[in-house]
Structures are given as structure tokens and as C-alpha cells.
Amino acid sequence: MATGNINVSVENIFPLIKKFLYSDHEIFLRELISNATDATLKLKHLTSIGEVSVEYGNPVIEVKVDKEGKKLHVIDQGIGMTKEEVEKYINEVAFSGAEEFLEKYKDSAKDSGIIGHFGLGFYSAFMVAHKVEIITKSFKDEPAAHWTCEGTTKFTLEEGDKQERGTEIIVHINEDEEEFLEENRIQELLVKYNKFMPIPIKFGTTEETLPLPEDAPEDAEPETKTVDNIINNPEPAWTKQPTELEEKDYNNFYRELYPMQFEEPLFHIHLNVDYPFNLTGILYFPKMNQDMNIQKDKIQLYQNQVYVTDNVEGIVPEFLTMLRGVIDSPDIPLNVSRSYLQADSSVKKISSYITRKVADKLKTLFNNNRDDFEKKWNDIKIVIEYGMLSEEKFFDKAQSFALYPTVDNKFYTFEELEEKIKENQTDKDGNMVVLYASNQDEQHSYIQAAKDKGYQVLLLDSPIISHLLQKLESSKEKLSFVRVDSDHVNNLIKKDDENISKLSDEEKEKLKSDFEKVVPKEKYTVQLEAMDSNAAPLIITQPEFMRRMKEMQQTGGGGMFGMGNMPEMYNLVVNTNHDLISEILNTKTDKKQERLIKQSLDLARLSQNLLKGEELTAFIKRSFDMVK
């Protein structure tokens, strides 16, 4: 038996491992199984190229819990190690960077997640163990080796009696980490981290019901047999070529990833590239809701089929974090801080590639089946609009498939929309005005007034639309978006043929004064306009700029305008050509005039859903009294 010191010059490396190596101690199991997988795949490679003459067979990795002995076993049938290799790979390599590790991670390692950065994956076992044993036999014709270490820099290494090829790691669990002796906890971790590992992972056994033979009697009981409980799918869909998969395979894999999702995904994007970096994966567009934050962190990141995280910020463009699926790449550096990750050139290339693939897929879907794309628009628009806002290259590509739906449920690309409206919706200064509504029911009267003039009205109701309109206006010349309720219909698109007011200047001045005595000036600015006599007598509007800035601040941005705490301000547009307005002007008593103005104002507020609570109750009572 040999004894010795692990090659490390820093005595307190083990306390640091326990404290800093990973933020989650549960990671130790992932690391041990990853090592077992590597050992098995190395043997597969050597046998496939004829380097060794042993039979590869059908190896599995087995995990066993010995609750009574307070031990956890991880057993593989891989390449194994000789005594010399244990010396080399366990005692020396593991801590070759110990001093650098101490310096770099003593304050920040808890947040960094240093996967394999210094060959410390195996030593993660000491986060949960007071002793770790390695019993290993190489594929070479040499005796087995038995290594033991009790969480100090001292170890023992002696000849072992293991007869089968492979390695067994025995983790003696600490008293305060005994959750890792619970079978349910280990099953949970195996499913979380190793669900798609490329080597079958066995954890106990399960009962399998055998099918009854065709000639079995009706009352026959089906037989069961005990089979290995294999917890993983070694060949998940993303490891295959797209030509090998059908639509049902993609949908089945989606359910495997998200067993609690009962709706089918809208469509998928298969990622498969090996130059200038390696990346595979499948992204799914689920049905979206209007809350952008709820959707995030659903994409799972893997490294060689080992689960790493579902926080893919910095790797996947932010607008695509609302998608679901899997990305697997050995080229993503997972052993450093997020700030480094975001500056890494490989990651930037991967992010650009994913953006391009998503844009190309959307364009293909649009070109191949526009009707289906239009039906799905409301479920995918939030991702596309967010992408147009946040990624310039995506914005450019999206011009060919981004849709602008109308209140009549027709869909146009921007180019088609421009062709449709440029003649009728260009104002006297040559600006093309795109009218839109954000709520078809609440803005119905304004929409109808615009349609009566032959205008097209878009229905744009996503939470970030104000930001996107700002970007569209800045990217195109002589273009403005105006919400239909931001002014009376004649002012939405100013033409030369303006209506003439029936009132004289003196009458208009008196009328404005009469209204300002009654209308609360802290909420409404009275504005006299000559409109058609059959238009509404009073219209409440909110200026496009003010409203849009407030909306932008509510969804992030626009803060520099200081709109956040400003009171809601509206324009009260008085139609000087309406008969009711003439009646208000010519009313002899102040009391009756005030009553008419209040009632008319409340009717206008009611149409805008601005009349609520006590004021609404008073309005209804007053209206009934007038009917009586």
C-alpha cells in the first residue's frame, strides 16, 4: 500500500471546495456521472478505432444508495484506471491550479460555477462527503487500484480486488448532507441533470407489465417482470439529424422536456452546426401570453448532453429567452462569470447564429404557408416584436415576415400596408400616417369614425408596441403612427379641406370660457374644433406623444422624459358645428348650462371608460332624474 500527499501547496483547499466550489452541493452527482460518462465514451472511441481489443458491449452507469452505510455509489463500465493513472489524474492534475483557484475564486466562486475549470469535478464529492473512495480497474491487463481520501491532502493508494473493468466511486455522506441518501432526492437529481446523458443510467429496478397473449382468457392477470430502472434517454431528438425526425418526434420530445405542458408547440427550429463552433439543439415556439417575464428561462442549456442551467441569458439573444427547448454546445465556456460569458467571442457568434436561424425559419414558414402563419401571429408576435426592437439584424430580416393586422382581421407586411394606405393616408405635408387601435372594444367609436373616412386601422396591442412604433418611425422617412383616439378624426390625418366653424370668433371664445368654468382644468384641456355636424359633440383624446411616453416608461424606457408620475392629462375636443354645442352656448341660465356641460362630459368620459366609482353612480342617478 502506498501513502502520500496530494500535489497541492495550499493546505486549506478542502474547506474551500466545501464552501466555494459550487453554489449548489447537489452538483457533485452531475460531476461524478459526467466523469463516468467520459470514461465510458473514451472506451467506445478506442474500441471503434481498433486501438484496444476489449469488447465495448452495452455499458451502463449505475447509481446505488446505501442508506444504512451512509454511502452513495457511482459505478461505470468504462475505461478504468491503473494505479499510475490514479496517481497522475487524481493526485496531481486535480490541483495543478490550486493557487490560481484560491486567488481567483476565494471571494466570488459561489456565483461563478467553475465547471471543470481546474479538473475539480471529481473533488466536488467532498462538498457532501467526509471520505471518498475510488475502486478502479483499467481495460489494460493490470491489477485494480483502491484510492481513499478523507478530505485532507493525505491519501492512501493500494491494490484493489475489483475484477470487472471500470470505476466505482464511493461517497461517504456527511451527517449534514443526508438528503443525498434519500432515493427520491437522488432520482430527482438524476432526472434534472442526467436525463439525456449518452450512456444509460441505472438507478434501482422497476416492475414492467407484460402484454397478455392474444389467446389469454378474459380474467387472466397480466404478469410483471423486474427490469432495470433506466432514468435517461441516451439519444434525445437534438442529437439526431433533422432528416431522421418527423413532426410527431419533435412534439414527443417537447413533452419529454416539459411533461406539464399540455399544449403542442406552434413550431420548432432545429439547430445543427459544426463550424465555426459546435452547436446542436431544438427551439420551440410555444403559445405566448402578453406577460413577457413569465415566459423566460425555459430553454435548457446542455454541454455534451449534461444539463447545466435554464438561465441562458448572454448565450441566447434576450428576445428568444421566451422560447423553449434545448441548446447543447461544448464550445460555450461554462466555468466563468456571466460578464466574461457575454464578452466571449464564441458566445457572440453562437448568439448571432441562433438569431439568424430563427429569422430564416420564420421567413420559410411565412412563405410556405402564409394562412397558417397569420393564424399563429397573435401567439408569436411578442417574440418577433421584441426581436425587432432589440436586435438590428433581426429587425432587418423581419421586414419580410412581420405582420400588421387590422381591426378587420386582415394581415399586411409593412410593404403591403404602405401600398394600401399611402394614397388615402398621406397628410398635407407628405407624411404617411398609420392609424392603429390598442383595444377594439374600448376604442370602437374612434375606429368607426376612421373607417367611415376610408382609413385602414391596425390593431396593435402588445405591451411593447409603443417602443416598436418609435423604432419604426425612426427607421423610415415621413412616417408616423397615430392611435385613433389621440385626436378627433379630422385631425388624425390633416388634409387641406378643413371644415369651417359655424361659430364666430367671439362665440368660440365665450364657449371655451363656459366649458373651462365647469371642466376640471387639472385633467382636461378644452380644445375647439370644427368637425362634421354629425360627429360627436365632445370627444376625449390623449395626445399621442404623452400617452406613448407613459406607456414606454411602464414597459421600460422613456424614463428620461420624466412621465412616470405625471397625472393623466386629456384633451376635451368640442365640436363647434354640433347642435348640442350651439344649445349649450345659447342656454340662458348658468345652472342649466353647467348641467348640460357636465352631462355631455360624463357621456364622453363613459365612452372612454373614464367614468368610474362614485362619479359613475352620480351620473346614472342624474340620468334617470333627467328621464323622469
pLDDT per position as a tens digit, 356-407 = 999 999 999 999 999 999 999 999 999 999 999 999 999 999 999 999 999 9
Are the C-beta atoms of residues 87 and 157 closer than 8 Å to each other?
A: yes
Give the pLDDT of residue 124. Answer: 86
Q: Which of 54-68, 132-146, 499-513, 548-562 has the lowest mean pLDDT?
A: 548-562
Share of the chain above pLDDT 70, in %: 85
Q: Show Cβ contacts of residue 396 under 8 Å, excluding neighbours closer than 6 positions.
A: none
Give pLDDT, residue 326. 94
Q: What's residue 373's pLDDT?
A: 95
Q: How confident is the model at residue 305 (pLDDT cuts 50, 70, 90)?
A: confident
Indicate the length of the chain as a whole number. 628
Q: Which of residues 535 and 99 earns the better pLDDT score?
A: 535
* Strand segments (E) across 77-149: 129-137, 144-149
Q: Is the pLDDT of residue 206 over 70?
A: yes
**Summary mean pLDDT of the chain:** 84
pLDDT at 63: 97
Place 623 in a pLDDT band, splitting at 50, 70 and 90. confident
| Residue pLDDT, tens place only, 40-86 | 988 888 888 888 888 888 999 999 999 999 999 999 999 999 999 88
Show Cβ contacts of residue 491 under 8 Å, excluding neighbours closer than 6 positions: 529
Residue 561 and residue 625 in contact, taking contact as beta carbons nearer than 8 Å: no
Instruction: Kindly report, residue by residue over 3-45, the tens digit of the pLDDT.
Output: 776 655 445 566 666 665 666 789 899 889 988 998 898 888 8
Angle between helices 579-586 and 505-518 (to 10 degrees): 80
The answer on pLDDT for 529 being more than 90 is no
- E strand spans, 151-223: 154-160, 166-173, 201-209
- Fill in the amino acid letter for 143: P
- For 430-474, the pLDDT digits (tens) are 889 999 999 998 888 889 989 998 999 999 988 888 889 989 998
Q: What's the half-sphere exposure (Cβ side, CA atoms, 13 Å) at 154?
A: 3
Helix (H, G, I), strand (E, B) or coil at 168: strand
**pLDDT at residue 516 is higher than 50:** yes
pLDDT at 151 over 90: no
Q: Is the confidence at residue 519, as pLDDT, over 50?
A: yes
Cβ within 8 Å of residue 465, ≥6 positions away: 385, 438, 551
Mean local confidence (pLDDT), 136-162: 91
pLDDT, residue 402, reads 96
Percent of the chain, pLDDT > 90?
39
Residue labelled with grid coordinates 387601435: 437
CA atoms of 431 and 418, how far apart (whole Å): 12
Cell 417575464 belongs to residue: 293
Cell numbers describing residue 409: 382581421
Question: What end-to-end distance do the CA atoms of the chain give, in Å?
Answer: 109
Provide mean pLDDT across the span 552-575: 64
Q: What does the pLDDT read at residue 617?
A: 87
pTM for the model stands at: 0.74
C-alpha cell at 308: 447545466
* Half-sphere exposure in the Cβ direction for 597 (13 Å, CA): 24
For residue 333, what pLDDT is reported?
Answer: 63
Q: pLDDT at position 211, please? A: 84
What DSSP designation does 426 have?
Answer: B
pLDDT of 570: 86
Q: What is the pLDDT of residue 112?
A: 33
